Amino acid sequence: MLRVTRTLVVTLAALAATGAAAQDKVSDNVVKIGVLTDMSGYYSDLAGPGSVLAARMAAEDFGGKVLGKNIEIVSADHQNKADIASNTARKWFDEEKVDVIADLVSSSTAGAVMPVAAEKKRITLLSGPATTAFTGEKCTPYNVHYTYNNWALANGTGREVVKQGGDSWFFVTADYVFGKSLEEDTTKVVKAAGGKVLGAARHPSPGTTDFSSYLLQAQSSGAKIVGLANAGADTVNSIKQAKEFGVTPKQSLAGLLVFISDIHSLGLDIAKGMYLTTAFYWDLNDDTRKWSKRFFEKHKKMPTMVHAGVYSAVSHYLNAVKAAGTDDADKVIAQMKATPVKDFFTKNGKIGPDGLHRHEMYLVRVKSPQESKAPWDYYQIVKTIPPEEAFPSVEAQACPLVKK
């Protein structure tokens, strides 16, 4: 019975799709993709211009056209400000016929744009931000959280580090919503794995350059692991000064959100030995190497997981538009959720009804300068975390869209 109904539904959906295609349903005769990112601030290296490039590459590789209509990429700088992000999104939807917004690095900007997009029935493809709640309490029907989230980071790094004996933690946390939620998520994981948390020091962010006093607190706590619940320049400075003050190698650092761009700017000598979780690394296999080398030729830097995620998300979106025969958000998002993702980014990705893209994550260890054989040869893969372990299950998320 069940199977019959399902077949019926699929057939109906297919019928609906062909019907739509016949009517040629691309709004405004163009599929417009907006990349809303931080072009000049703290996150501009890990997202920013690289994300715009990734979206462009995705459009070009698709042939520049979908359903016979042009694909257009626009971009804007949200300066990490929630108000600018929400204004730009509103303007894009109202005035410039943007169909989908990608990247949205930094959680505050994504949190501001998602409700606007939902209200206007447009799709958001989050690649940069981290907040787990985007597919939990704050979920919207038109959102895909594509690349990573706090839960995955906390889980990947937290659980593995405890397993390897790092069972007492002290956090150095950026004093804002992202940092605090990352600290919270990791605390849960550490405790669940049998470790204990000895304390946390919160620093103002952005704007702190000297972390020595927070690191001293970490040092005097005697914890085996110092968890860095911050991002970008904050993390980089923390790592650098941890070495300076002799926190490492006596205690170990666990970078909860570290990008390859951070490692590149720190240098291996300072970063070596650190564990971190990432959704993408350029040197995983032939596919990743091939794509990344192309990216590198244009950008002069290897892609971060955000960049790769933007490319993959945009491609997946365009494929869904093609398959659904329309750029109507309801149909496209249904198509995106119904189709597994299979490309260089993931072999085995699925977008759940809550909008979370579940795919493999990788726990890596940063190589020492001696181990590194070539430029950008930075990570050693410690463990490939399968999708069902890497991300929270649909049931564990509190997304109101998903009826239990």
The binding site for other proteins (CB under 8 A) comprises 39-46, 48-49, 74-78, 81-84, 86-88, 90-91, 94-95, 107-108, 111-112, 115, 175-178, 201-204, 206-210, 212-214, 216-217, 219-220, 232-233, 236-237, 240-241, 244-246, 261-262, 264-267, 270
Q: Shortest approach of other proteins to residue 367 CB, angstroms? A: 16
Q: Which is nearer to other proteins, 265 or 339 (CB)?
A: 265
Residue 374 beta carbon to other proteins: minimum distance, rounded to whole angstroms: 19
Q: Which is nearer to other proteins, 93 or 146 (CB)?
A: 93
74's CB contacts (< 8 A; 6+ apart) are: 32, 33, 34, 35, 92, 96, 98
Across the beta sheet with 100-103, the strand order is: 65-66, 69-77, 30-37, 100-103, 123-126, 143-145
Q: Are 71 and 31 in contact (CB under 8 A)?
A: yes
Query: Closest approach of Cβ 243 to other proteins, in Å?
Result: 9
Q: Residue type at 232?
A: G
Over its C-alpha atoms, the chain yields an Rg (Å, rounded) of: 21
Q: What contacts 23, CB < 8 A, 6 or more positions away?
A: none
**Two tokens, residue 271:** 């970063």
Cβ proximity to other proteins, 27 vs 265, nearer residue: 265
CB of 128 to other proteins, least distance (A): 14
Q: Please state the closest distance from residue 139 (CB atom) to other proteins, in A.
A: 15
In a 13 Å sphere around the CA of 256, the CA atoms on its Cβ side amount to 37
Q: Looking at beta carbons only, is 269 or 395 nearer to other proteins?
A: 269
Alpha carbon 97 to chain centroid, angstroms: 25
Beta carbon nearer to other proteins, 78 or 316: 78
HEC per residue, 267-279? CHHHHCCCEEEEC
| Closest separation in Å from C-beta 231 to other proteins | 11
Shortest distance (Å) from residue 246 CB to other proteins: 5
Q: Cβ of residue 75: shortest distance to other proteins, in angstroms?
A: 5
The residue with tokens 């971060």 is 304
Considering the complex, what minimum distance in angstroms separates the CB of residue 45 from other proteins? 4
For other proteins, the closer CB: 38 or 160: 38
Name which of 159 and 224 has its Cβ closer to other proteins: 224
User: What is the DSSP code string of 300-359?
Assistant: SS---HHHHHHHHHHHHHHHHHHHHTB--HHHHHHHHHHSPB-SSS-SSBEE-TTSBEE-
In 241-268, which positions are buried (b, 16+ CB within 10 angstroms) versus exposed (e)? Answer: bbbeeebbeebbbbbbbbbbbbbbebeb
Greatest Cα-to-Cα distance within the chain, rounded to the nearest angstrom: 69
Phi, psi of 258 (to 5 degrees): -125, 135
Give the Cβ contact number of residue 117 at 10 Å. 26
Distance CA 354, CA 183 (A): 23
Q: Which residue, 267 or 273, is less far from other proteins as judged by CB? A: 267
Nearest to other proteins of 132, 346 (CB atom) = 132
Which is it for strands 100-103 and 361-366: parallel, antiparallel or unpaired? unpaired
